[in-house]
Amino acid sequence: MPDYINGQKATPYKGVGKFMPQGRKFAQKIASNSNFPPDGNKLANNLKDALVKAGLKDGMTISSHHHFRNGDLIMNQVFDIAKGLGIKDLRWFPSASFPCHEHLVQYLEDGTIHHIEGSMNGPLGKFASDGKMKGMAVLRSHGGRYQAVQDGEVEIDIAVIVAGTADAFGNANGVDGDSASGLLGFALADSQYAEKVIVVTDNLVPFPCIPWQIQGNNVDFTVKVEKAGIPEKIISGTTKITKSPDRLLLAEMTAQFCDAAGIIKDGFSFQTGAGGTSLAVSKYFGDIMKERNIKARFARGGSNKYLVQMLEDGMIDYILDGQTFDLEGVRSMRENPNHVWTSPFTSYNYHGKGNFAGMVDVVILGATEVDVNFNGNVCTHSDGLLLHGIGGWQNCLFSKTVILPIPLFRNRIPVVVDNVTTIVGPGELIDVIVTERGIAINPLRKDLIEATKNAGLPIKTIQELKAEAEQICGVPEKPIFTDEIIAAIKWVDGTVIDVVRKVKA
Amino acid sequence: MPDYINGQKATPYKGVGKFMPQGRKFAQKIASNSNFPPDGNKLANNLKDALVKAGLKDGMTISSHHHFRNGDLIMNQVFDIAKGLGIKDLRWFPSASFPCHEHLVQYLEDGTIHHIEGSMNGPLGKFASDGKMKGMAVLRSHGGRYQAVQDGEVEIDIAVIVAGTADAFGNANGVDGDSASGLLGFALADSQYAEKVIVVTDNLVPFPCIPWQIQGNNVDFTVKVEKAGIPEKIISGTTKITKSPDRLLLAEMTAQFCDAAGIIKDGFSFQTGAGGTSLAVSKYFGDIMKERNIKARFARGGSNKYLVQMLEDGMIDYILDGQTFDLEGVRSMRENPNHVWTSPFTSYNYHGKGNFAGMVDVVILGATEVDVNFNGNVCTHSDGLLLHGIGGWQNCLFSKTVILPIPLFRNRIPVVVDNVTTIVGPGELIDVIVTERGIAINPLRKDLIEATKNAGLPIKTIQELKAEAEQICGVPEKPIFTDEIIAAIKWVDGTVIDVVRKVKA
């Protein structure tokens, strides 16, 4: 474990609920209305003008959010402007980056950007994984990102918030306009705690912009651009129900398990995520609910057309949504007051007075690896490469029952292993592993073992599953790592739960 | 001016926009989910249990909000409990108190409550005015209350928030349930910054309580009571259109003036308040708007049935509402997404990055006195007694045009005077005085003077108005004050703009 991360003292992981934060939240400088235009018009001439007015300079931390996912058009421009101004050593603090940000590799190389702290999906992840980034990558969950900002671990100098609709005062939402991407919850912490906040939109409306998801009272400058983002690209490749018979089997077994365990009952709640398997689980849940004529009190998003359909069919009272994964999600959020925006603060912040995660009856998650102690990995593959962000995965582990439907092996590499390459989630929070060759229940969950023992399900021990995987695939070779730490994995409380080292070439 | 108020250093008023706040906002201690129930159920057994768990002890600051106005049922209970526990020297920090709180006079007398900081309407105001309160009263505007909490001037130990509907996690709203009082915006600062937050409701719903106006993530304990409040009593005596011919004349002249000044145009905005005269102004505005077939972009609440009717008739795009003044307001806020909740943060906080007040085209306010320098008083009468709170009055002075329709005299006491008894608002922010005997325009507003000079309106100087008043009523005797300061009047930036001294018996 490193003592310091990018020059900042690091605290090692203490165990679930064991680290007690001291001190007080980060506090912004007190602002005064007398420094803002009396008529509320905060429009800057353009993005460059806003960045210059915000005082962009060397070494600053620039934050952004990923509601446009691979359809973001603004952050490449922001760093083009920084490059043009000769700015160096910026820290980019996105809630996530995507392949559309490959353009920024050049700025990581030339020193415009010192390093990135945030999920890296695609070329930037590869760049970091290759050990080329000047600073250490820091991966945080959605809740961990809020916690880090709230607690002052990450001080944001300039936040850039891109909104489908906004007024000149800075009130903004993601549900209206040609570039509606759904909501803006990932930018909430940024709007509350950043020194300067810039709202960018292509749909400027007269005050007031209703609804406001970002409050203009937290905003310094507003910018009108031609096109804010490409909402069609919020759809990721993982938002279609799987057609793979193996995965459909996993989904069906998962639903059967939940049913046997008594989880699917009137007024229950669930979060299935957006993977192809997860969507299939939703579908099977829906089938059971229809058959029994019961409904769920709420489902957590990321929302998609399947969840929206369930809401509109009256099978769910509310969708509590953190991220819209398709345009049906955006439409529903705009039109339906029961499709509710949430944020990492409400849903996932571990340094609050509770959050929503613990109130979800069952959550269905993925993993790249699980080990015999039920520890989970979502960031690295068995080859040691850092290829994924954490998202809400760690935060969701606090739900009442956590189920991971995963194939026993992928490309003849076992998924159930002796020790995960990287510990992203501790085993005590992971309850059930569903594979095509059997279901393993965490021994800590005696209640689930008891409830499902006569249900005719293929219950096995996790060691049995591991042995089966190795019997088929052989024992995989471990990657060989150098000493160089390329990334720190933060736990939900800001401690370092693991690190990722550079793989020996 | 006092150097200290209740032991805390005081800063004297510097002028509009002249005082520059230093330092950072108040920051709460960092909480941890591990100290809260994993399933989110924060229900305490009863109000006493919650107060004890919150650590109620001598000298604490207990805050509350006034959305139930004279129908509050909880705060008397809170102090009964404190008395029963033998607690002393509490500071009560309500957003306002009402005649229903007369019960608390005994606790001011016996030392359970040391003093009150907040608007005092009724018996508590009389008690303070008589110099009987142990500490000094501190009067703040709605925005000033938010500013004081945000800036750490007032640290709240326990906030009590009473909601029409809530869930056990603490998500709460004022729009649903038998005790719906509208919204909960006055309690926003309390929920964000208090050390401990208690939500009280008589309508507990399964998680999630939608909509949430107070976020459960800020709440420590929830309490279920038999009856949370009496919503019928949110109607104050001042929410009916006046039938007095004199006041109707004032209202008509005000509307005529606005029309002549070019203020009433398509897309304009207004705030008329809830006084009988103000409501009549709304009605005249509405007549003009209908005639011209124009509509307003928004109207500010406090809302009432007249404003709701205009919204529903399509004459206003949005009501931006801080307080519902009748049950039609509550209904509209519950049903109509264009009837938008605001808070002292969005609307009035002067130590933010702007607020809504400056974006309102015209605001119609009352006053107990105005002087020849256009300074206004809303707290004391000419007899020197402290009888009213500030409400949003100071904050609204930042609107583009501020008009005070007031009688030239009341009970043969001139309202336009040489010097107001108490300066609550500086003259440079007050634009127009409309009286039954003429209209005075602040010389600073050359644009208004120019625009209305040929409109056939009875424009006079403020000195002429004052002379007329004295001609009719004589020069009134000034009250004689003792040296004892009974109350400090804060400006919107936390400085002390004036004090109120005890009147010599």
Asked if residue B296 and residue B215 are part of one domain, the reply reads no
Is it the case that residue B237 has pLDDT exceeding 70?
Answer: no
Asked if residue B255 and residue B227 are part of one domain, the reply reads no
Q: Which of A19, A24, A170 sits opposite B27 (nearest CB)?
A: A24
Cβ-based contacts of A37 with chain B (< 8 Å): 354
User: For chain A, how big is the Rg over CA atoms in Å?
Assistant: 23
Q: Flag whether A424 is in a domain.
A: yes
Assign B167 to helix, strand or coil.
Answer: coil
**Cβ-defined contact of A355 to B31 (cutoff 8 Å):** no
pLDDT, residue B126, reads 87
Residue B98 confidence class, pLDDT cut points 50, 70, 90: very high
Mean pLDDT of B328-340: 96
Q: Flag whether A25 is in a domain.
A: no
* Contact pairs from chain A to chain B, CB under 8 Å: 181
Q: Flag whether B217 is in a domain.
A: yes
Q: How far is B358 from chain A (nearest CA, A)?
A: 5
Q: Are B413 and B423 in contact (CB under 8 A)?
A: no
Mean pLDDT of B222-230: 97
- Secondary structure element (H or E) that encloses residue B124, with its range: helix B123-129
Q: At what angle do helices B327-335 and B305-312 cross, to 10 degrees?
A: 30
**Cβ-defined contact of A358 to B40 (cutoff 8 Å):** yes
Mean pLDDT of B356-385: 95
Contacts by A256-262, CB closer than 8 A, 24 or more apart: A256/A455, A256/A457, A257/A403, A257/A432, A257/A434, A257/A439, A257/A452, A257/A455, A257/A457, A258/A285, A258/A362, A258/A401, A258/A403, A259/A288, A260/A451, A260/A452, A260/A455, A260/A457, A261/A401, A261/A448, A261/A451, A261/A452, A262/A451
Is it the case that residue B500 has pLDDT exceeding 70?
Answer: yes
Asked if residue A315 and residue A227 are part of one domain, the reply reads no
Asked if residue A334 and residue A206 are part of one domain, the reply reads no
CATH of the domain at B467: 3.40.1080.10
Task: Please tell me whether the overall predicted TM-score, pTM, comes out greater than 0.90 for this model.
Answer: yes
CA distance B398 to B491: 12
Residue B445 confidence class, pLDDT cut points 50, 70, 90: very high
**Cβ-defined contact of A216 to B340 (cutoff 8 Å):** no
pLDDT, residue B253, reads 97
Cβ-based contacts of A206 with chain B (< 8 Å): 267, 297
Using the structure block, give the residue that is written with the tokens 């922001």: A78
**Cβ-defined contact of A33 to B170 (cutoff 8 Å):** no
Is it the case that residue A237 has pLDDT exceeding 80?
Answer: no
Segments forming the whole domain that contains residue B362 = 245-480
Beta strand residue intervals within B49-88, DSSP E? 61-64
**If we measure between CA atoms, which residue out of A393, A351, A373 comes closest to residue A17?**
A351
**Cβ-defined contact of A36 to B267 (cutoff 8 Å):** no
Whole-number mean pLDDT of chain A?
95
pLDDT, residue A120, reads 86
Asked if residue B357 and residue B314 are part of one domain, the reply reads yes
Residue A238 confidence class, pLDDT cut points 50, 70, 90: low
Asked if residue B377 and residue B329 are part of one domain, the reply reads yes
**Cβ-defined contact of B34 to A20 (cutoff 8 Å):** yes
**Cβ-defined contact of A210 to B340 (cutoff 8 Å):** yes
Last residue of a domain, one of B209, B233, B257: B233
pLDDT more than 70, % of chain B? 99
CA distance B490 to B493: 8
**If we measure between CA atoms, which residue out of A487, A504, A349 comes closest to residue A422?**
A487
Cβ-based contacts of B23 with chain A (< 8 Å): 29-30
Q: Are B503 and B132 in contact (CB under 8 A)?
A: no
Is it the case that residue B236 has pLDDT exceeding 70?
Answer: no
pLDDT, residue A125, reads 87
Cβ-based contacts of A356 with chain B (< 8 Å): 40, 169, 208
**Residue of chain A with shortest Cα separation from B20:** A32
Q: Flag whether B503 is in a domain.
A: no
Asked if residue B450 and residue B311 are part of one domain, the reply reads yes
Q: Flag whether A489 is in a domain.
A: no
Asked if residue A261 and residue A185 are part of one domain, the reply reads no
Last residue of a domain, one of B233, B254, B270: B233
Is it the case that residue B256 has pLDDT exceeding 90?
Answer: yes
Cβ-based contacts of B353 with chain A (< 8 Å): 31, 33, 36, 170, 197, 216-220
Q: Flag whether A138 is in a domain.
A: no
Asked if residue A296 and residue A192 are part of one domain, the reply reads no
Q: Are A481 and A382 in contact (CB under 8 A)?
A: no
Residue B125 confidence class, pLDDT cut points 50, 70, 90: confident
Asked if residue A295 and residue A361 are part of one domain, the reply reads yes
Q: Which of A24, A33, A358 sits opposite B352 (nearest CB)?
A: A33
- CB contact set of B286 (below 8 Å; sequence gap of 6+): B306, B310, B315
Q: Flag whether A318 is in a domain.
A: yes
Q: Which of A18, A40, A354 sits opposite B359 (nearest CB)?
A: A40
Cβ-based contacts of A197 with chain B (< 8 Å): 353
Q: Flag whether B449 is in a domain.
A: yes
Whole-number mean pLDDT of chain B?
95
Residue A218 confidence class, pLDDT cut points 50, 70, 90: very high
**Cβ-defined contact of B24 to A28 (cutoff 8 Å):** yes
* pLDDT per residue as tens digits for the range A70-106: 999 999 999 999 999 999 999 999 999 999 999 999 9
A contact test, residue of B30, B333, B341 with most A CBs within 10 A: B30
The side-by-side arrangement of strands in the sheet containing B481-490 is: B137-139, B481-490, B496-503
Half-sphere exposure (CA, 13 Å, Cβ side) for B493? 23
pLDDT more than 90, % of chain A? 88
Last residue of a domain, one of B233, B257, B280: B233
Cβ-based contacts of A354 with chain B (< 8 Å): 33, 36-37, 40, 42, 169, 216-217
Asked if residue A433 and residue A384 are part of one domain, the reply reads yes
Cβ-based contacts of B188 with chain A (< 8 Å): none
What is the ipTM score, two decimals? Answer: 0.96
pLDDT more than 70, % of chain A? 99
pLDDT, residue B83, reads 98
Q: How far is B241 from chain A (nearest CA, A)?
A: 28
Cβ-based contacts of B40 with chain A (< 8 Å): 354, 356, 358-359
Asked if residue A229 and residue A362 are part of one domain, the reply reads no
pLDDT, residue B279, reads 84
- CB contact set of B156 (below 8 Å; sequence gap of 6+): B61, B62, B63, B93, B149, B190, B193, B194, B195
CA distance B226 to A274: 43
Residue B239 confidence class, pLDDT cut points 50, 70, 90: low
Q: What is the DSSP string of A133-187?
A: -SS-EEE--HHHHHHHHHTTSS--SEEEEEESEE-TT--EESSSSTT--S--GGG
Q: Which of A27, A169, A297 sits opposite B24 (nearest CB)?
A: A27
Beta strand residue intervals within B323-470, DSSP E? 339-341, 362-364, 369-371, 376-377, 401-405, 409-410, 413-414, 416-417, 432-435, 438-441, 459-460
Cβ-based contacts of B349 with chain A (< 8 Å): 217
Is it the case that residue B330 has pLDDT exceeding 60?
Answer: yes
- Secondary structure element (H or E) that encloses residue A434, with its range: strand A432-435
pLDDT, residue A239, reads 64
A contact test, residue of B353, B355, B495 with most A CBs within 10 A: B353
**Cβ-defined contact of B359 to A210 (cutoff 8 Å):** no
The side-by-side arrangement of strands in the sheet containing B339-341 is: B339-341, B316-321, B296-300, B269-271, B362-364, B401-405, B432-435, B438-441, B459-460
Is it the case that residue A209 has pLDDT exceeding 80?
Answer: yes
Residue A325 confidence class, pLDDT cut points 50, 70, 90: confident
* pLDDT per residue as tens digits for the range A143-159: 999 999 999 999 999 99
Mean pLDDT of B97-105: 95
- CB contact set of B320 (below 8 Å; sequence gap of 6+): A208, B298, B299, B300, B301, B340, B342, B347, B356
Is it the case that residue A452 has pLDDT exceeding 70?
Answer: yes
| Number of domains chain A is built from | 2
